[in-house]
Structure 1
Amino acid sequence: MANSGTGQTLAADCGLYSVLAEWARTDPDRPVISRKGADGWQDVSCAELAAHVDAVAGVLLDRGVRHGDRVAVLGTTRYEWAVADLAVLSIGAVTVPIYPTASEHQVRHVLGDSGATWSVAEDAAYGDRLRAAGAGEVWSFAEIDAWRDVPADIDRIREPVRADDLATIVYTSGTTGLPKGCMLTHANMYASSANTVRQTDWLFRRASPDDSAPAATLLSLPLSHVFGRTILLSCLIAGTRTGLVAGVPEMLGELPGFRPTFLALVPYALEKIRKRARSVLADDAEAAAVATGLGATGPGGGDDRRADPSHQRVRDLLGGRLGYVICGGASLDDTTWGFYAGVGIEILNCYGLTEAATAVTVNAPATNRFGTVGRPIPGTTVAIADDGEVLVSGDNVSPGYWPAARAQAGTWLHTGDLGELDDDGFLRITGRSKEILVTSGGKNVAPTPLEDRIRLHPLVSNCMLLGDGRSHVTALVTLDAAAAAGWAAERGLGPVDEHLCRDPALLAEIGTAVDAANALVSRAESVRRFRVVARDFTVDAGHLTPSMKLRRAAIAEAYAADVAALYGNEISVA
């Protein structure tokens, strides 16, 4: 069992809005959010943000929204998303985020299950999707932005908000079936965010331990996911200058100009950035960075990390000041951790889940330990059950699923993940109990490390291992359409279709990625056969959750013919 001690808690008679109100009182001119306009980045001060939130809260109250009412929000990460969320929370109403990629069926389920009476949509297209799914009154981001007049009696008509009031219902992107609404209170969200700031020391406040310049970050995580909202709230608690961008593609173009000091990303984004960095790397520089990073003996590395001039070009691509990336949401391949460490950027792996308001453990700059997801944040206790399952307890743990009765305080959250605690209290995630493949020979195989390694190949978009109840492990591999098209054109081959997927040269190329993955495991755990498919796994088709996790059963069903072929005499690599 690992317990990091007492954490920071929200006063019983306060809600999350009190964080912004306190900044507006003590440091009103401090830039806290940045939004991209026609003339570049525009900083919004604490006072300006608080005034805008108060104005929107006043309109919501005038339109009939009351304490406990549910308000759905559908849109990408934008300034208006954050304002709408804070305004809803400030009057004791409940934010119900909806993923922008959600299907009409999923939107209808979230609206109906939560009982959301009102909705906020990014634009007309999103508004139409909400109305088609049965939404009532829908307000746009443009309206949110235009509501600027603060009612004189706002404090009189706004009901008090307490820490144990429900703040949000987040529908978990389950890998099977319809998502469930996870309830999180103001206290849950604050405990997760404030103690993430506390655990990471200076990271959210200063550019570096030796530089008093303020920290800055670009937030591209979806605010519809609790990871994104927890990071945004952490930045608000710490007073971090935070630029909001719709996604990773938009973030990449803004990095050189905004110059963040840290980022929060998921492994999928880090892999995409790593592939893009290859365009500025010298020959063999990527491999050298990985070797240097994995061979470093301590956090931060040494000056030898900056020996290759092309590594500086990678850092310039990322803004020139980026020192750390908080990485969570899924497993990260070791070589990706090593690559970033090798060019002078530390990955701070973390672990959490929606039911714990995202944050359970996180590595800190001063004690970053490779191969782990860090120690529990203050106020959180982690234990390992007899069967290896990770158990969590703390102020960040959800009271239960909507609309069921709230769980009894102090009960353990069963995460479904498998892990180990070392002697210093660092957690290592070894797999997910529901995703472990058990071959017919009784061998347990954790698929994600191999999938992560195969996915690093430039031609590969995604990968899923199979083998549960089978004699051996196989893999479905999808192609990165743009990379594969370029590769094929250079060789005078045809378009990216089923014919290309059977081309011997392509199979040999993908085979090198499979060989690299197999080098990580024993022969019994290795991928014996693989099949390249032209259709990628997508959220819209139901193959991926909105947070990019594999829906394994759905993929196996959609690619049933390919799965059947894998267990014939198709392609063998071992």
Structure 2
Amino acid sequence: MNTVSGIEISVTENGIQPADSESLYSIVSDGARRDPHRALLGCPDGTVLTRAEVDTRVRALAAALAERGVRQGDRVAILGRTSVTWALLDCAVLALGAIVVPIYPTSSPAQIEHILTDSASTAFAAETDDDAVRLLAAGADAVWTFPQLGDWAAVTDAPEPPVAAMLADDLAMLVYTSGTTGLSKGCMITHRNMYTSAANTVRQTGAVFGGRTVLALPLSHVFGQTMLFACLFGGTETYLLPGIPDLVPALARLRPTFLPLIPYGLEKIRKHCRALLAAGAEQETVTRGLELLRRRAAAPPVEPLASAMGGRLRYVISGGASLDDSTAGFYAGAGVVILNCYGLTEAATAVTVSAPETNRLGTVGRPIPGTEVGIAPEDGEVLVRGPHVTPGYWGAASDQRPVDDDGWLHTGDIGELDDGYLRITGRKKEILVTSGGKNVAPTPLEDRVRLHPLVSNCIVLGDGRAYVTALVTLDAERAERWRAEHPDQDPAAAVRTAVDEANALVSRAESIRAFRIVAGDFTIANGLLTSSLKLRRAAIAEAYADDIHQLYVTRA
């Protein structure tokens, strides 16, 4: 670790990079040539495709897309849950030199319309007929469904597709990420960006990717994409499930050796395991695990937890949100080591990843090979530099620059370096990250709720929590008048309409699940607003801690 221009820097050398003429599709084709019979992509029912079969299906699907007009540089919008078909389509679009535009299945109509319009997508795919209707309503002219795409991929006598001659720095994906204005920004991810992140995640974690995994992360999120291409690069036997709710019952059947997960998924598995333990055994497991982590020691698998997780699970790569130490301790005590990682869309997910041999509790690991991580001297902001960093934003956000003149990506997160290990200590930007890893821009929701005549102020909460909530204050004068005019009605019913209108702007994962009308107001005088009338979020959270506690206790 060293210091340059006042910036404390941690660097990991010897990163893997693609050749200038290599694309992400080359990961698939090269793997098929090297080891054609290796099991690669599996379905929930346990059927699995080999590397050669995956390549054959990708090429057949690419040929079908080309026949229907998809060309190099076209944007292809994809709306659906994770599946083998999604993964094949991903690779087929990239093989043609077209650009993948993933859309969350839970996106609102307004969000879908913005993404289609901003990306100028000309081809569209959806998991179901209902999803196709949503795309059509947002402006798509024709939509292919996953069953159709699966049929095209299975054609055995398909013509050779016009696989594009691409450069590593050509655009591969437009991943839309939440912004403080409420309109998502299209982050440009090149073939080099994603290849670098995926390949060096595999290098950093050693033999972890040599086993079997179950991928239930959404491929509409950059973390899911990076893990997919890391598994393709590492030759991992990878079973794809629609989502985390499908994961818990599948563990005993699919028997993974490692899992890529977000904290929400880890919490789901922990709750499932809790029912198998005797009273007090969970806390004993946590205590034992934390002690093992402090000593950097590993425990053998512990029953009945090991069987509940499939019997072979040894590692979890966890990212997307902060992880409570007790959860890390629980898994360590059960014989499963959690490897924390850190990243963001603008760096194709991977910035730091913990390695099995050097895992350190409370950190998110060291930079992946080929990456520099710095700490800005002025405010402690985490800075990132490397070949996985985005060239910028697309469309309406193209005038915004995430990278400074020295090539540093400004993450908006606050952190510190300790012997090269990164520890995240706070967030500079006002974006909430739920325990499920969903980024939520609170300002648009707050602005919409405040439009209601009865509402004086609103703060949206949910950072590190399972869902989003809000505290609402009432305009005292208007509330008194309203109560006189509506003696038999609760003001909460009127505020509910404001919350419903705000929720219509966002997806379910970003929506306000519960709210609470609280006494008093947020003012400059009581220190809950700045002089420019911005919310002092930490001060409000402290002043209304009991109300916030009730919001989450009552729905636990």
Q: Same fold (TM over 0.5)?
A: yes
Distance 1:563 1:336, change over 3 A: farther
Aligned to 1:358: 349
Cα shift readout 1:351-403 (whole Å, capped 9, x = no counterpart): 00000000000100111000000000001100000210000000110000003
SS across alignment from 1:51: helix
Aligned to 1:500: none
* Equivalent in 216, 233, 255 of residue 237 of structure 1: 233
Q: TM-score, structure 1 length as denominator?
A: 0.75
- What aligned pairs does 1:232-381 form with structure 2 within 5 A after superposition? 232-296=228-292, 297-302=294-299, 311-381=302-372
8 Å CA contact 1:399–1:409 kept in 2: the answer is: no
d(CA) in 1 for partners of 2:218 and 2:289? 29
d(CA) in 1 for partners of 2:116 and 2:371? 32
- What aligned pairs does 1:411-450 form with structure 2 within 5 A after superposition? 411-422=407-418, 424-435=419-430
SS across alignment from 2:303: helix
- Post-superposition shift, 1:476? 8.4
Determine if the alignment matches structure 1 residue 77 to structure 2 residue 82.
yes
- What aligned pairs does 1:76-115 form with structure 2 within 5 A after superposition? 76-115=81-120
d(CA) in 2 for partners of 1:571 and 1:53? 53
SS across alignment from 2:66: helix
Distance 1:257 1:572, change over 3 A: closer
d(CA) in 2 for partners of 1:474 and 1:110? 24
* Equivalent in 163, 172, 193 of residue 168 of structure 2: 163
SS across alignment from 2:49: strand
Distance 1:15 1:342, change over 3 A: same
- Post-superposition shift, 1:555? 5.1
Letter in 2 for 1:135: A
- Post-superposition shift, 1:294? 1.1
Aligned to 1:51: 56
- Which stretch has the larger CA shift, 410-419 or 237-246? 410-419
8 Å CA contact 2:126–2:144 kept in 1: the answer is: yes
8 Å CA contact 1:478–1:534 kept in 2: the answer is: no
Letter in 2 for 1:396: H
SS across alignment from 1:137: coil
- Post-superposition shift, 1:49? 0.9
* Equivalent in 151, 155, 160 of residue 154 of structure 1: 160
d(CA) in 2 for partners of 1:97 and 1:44? 24
Determine if the alignment matches structure 1 residue 3 to structure 2 residue 8.
no
Determine if the alignment matches structure 1 residue 397 to structure 2 residue 406.
no
d(CA) in 1 for partners of 2:137 and 2:304? 48
SS across alignment from 2:202: helix
Distance 1:315 1:434, change over 3 A: same
8 Å CA contact 1:70–1:117 kept in 2: the answer is: yes
- Post-superposition shift, 1:413? 0.4
Aligned to 2:193: 188
SS across alignment from 2:304: helix
Identity among equivalent positions (%) equals 49
Distance 1:229 1:395, change over 3 A: same
- Post-superposition shift, 1:29? 1.1
Letter in 2 for 1:83: L
- Post-superposition shift, 1:569? 12
Letter in 2 for 1:400: G
* Equivalent in 8, 21, 25 of residue 17 of structure 1: 25
Distance 1:184 1:477, change over 3 A: closer
Runs of 4+ in 1 over 6 A off after TM superposition: 405-409, 473-481, 537-540, 542-546, 565-573
Query: How many residue pairs get matched?
Result: 466
d(CA) in 2 for partners of 1:41 and 1:114? 36
d(CA) in 1 for partners of 2:108 and 2:295? 45
Cα shift readout 1:278-303 (whole Å, capped 9, x = no counterpart): 10011111110111111124334245
SS across alignment from 1:373: coil
Aligned to 1:124: 129
- Post-superposition shift, 1:480? 9.3
SS across alignment from 2:209: coil
Determine if the alignment matches structure 1 residue 135 to structure 2 residue 97.
no
Cα shift readout 1:58-109 (whole Å, capped 9, x = no counterpart): 1111111111000000000011101111000001000000000000100000
d(CA) in 2 for partners of 1:480 and 1:364? 27
- Which stretch has the larger CA shift, 40-49 or 220-229? 40-49
Cα shift readout 1:117-168 (whole Å, capped 9, x = no counterpart): 010100100000000111122111011110133677635x333121111000
Cα shift readout 1:485-542 (whole Å, capped 9, x = no counterpart): xxxxxxxxxxxxxxxxxxxxxxxxxxxxxxxxxxxxxxxxxxxxxxxx999x999937
d(CA) in 1 for partners of 2:275 and 2:299? 25
d(CA) in 2 for partners of 1:217 and 1:268? 18
Aligned to 2:3: none
Aligned to 2:480: none
Letter in 2 for 1:165: D
* Equivalent in 533, 550, 561 of residue 517 of structure 2: 561
Aligned to 2:72: 67
Aligned to 1:28: 36
SS across alignment from 1:246: coil
SS across alignment from 2:373: strand
8 Å CA contact 1:54–1:150 kept in 2: the answer is: no
Q: TM-score, structure 2 length as denominator?
A: 0.77
Unaligned 5+ runs, structure 1: 206-214, 437-446, 456-461, 465-472, 482-532
Distance 1:476 1:340, change over 3 A: closer
SS across alignment from 2:503: coil
Letter in 1 for 2:160: I
Distance 1:316 1:542, change over 3 A: farther
d(CA) in 2 for partners of 1:201 and 1:6? 14
CA RMSD of aligned residues (A): 3.4
d(CA) in 2 for partners of 1:193 and 1:538? 40
Letter in 1 for 2:41: I
- Post-superposition shift, 1:562? 4.0
Letter in 2 for 1:164: D
8 Å CA contact 1:69–1:94 kept in 2: the answer is: yes
8 Å CA contact 1:334–1:371 kept in 2: the answer is: yes
d(CA) in 1 for partners of 2:423 and 2:110? 37
SS across alignment from 2:410: strand
SS across alignment from 1:382: strand
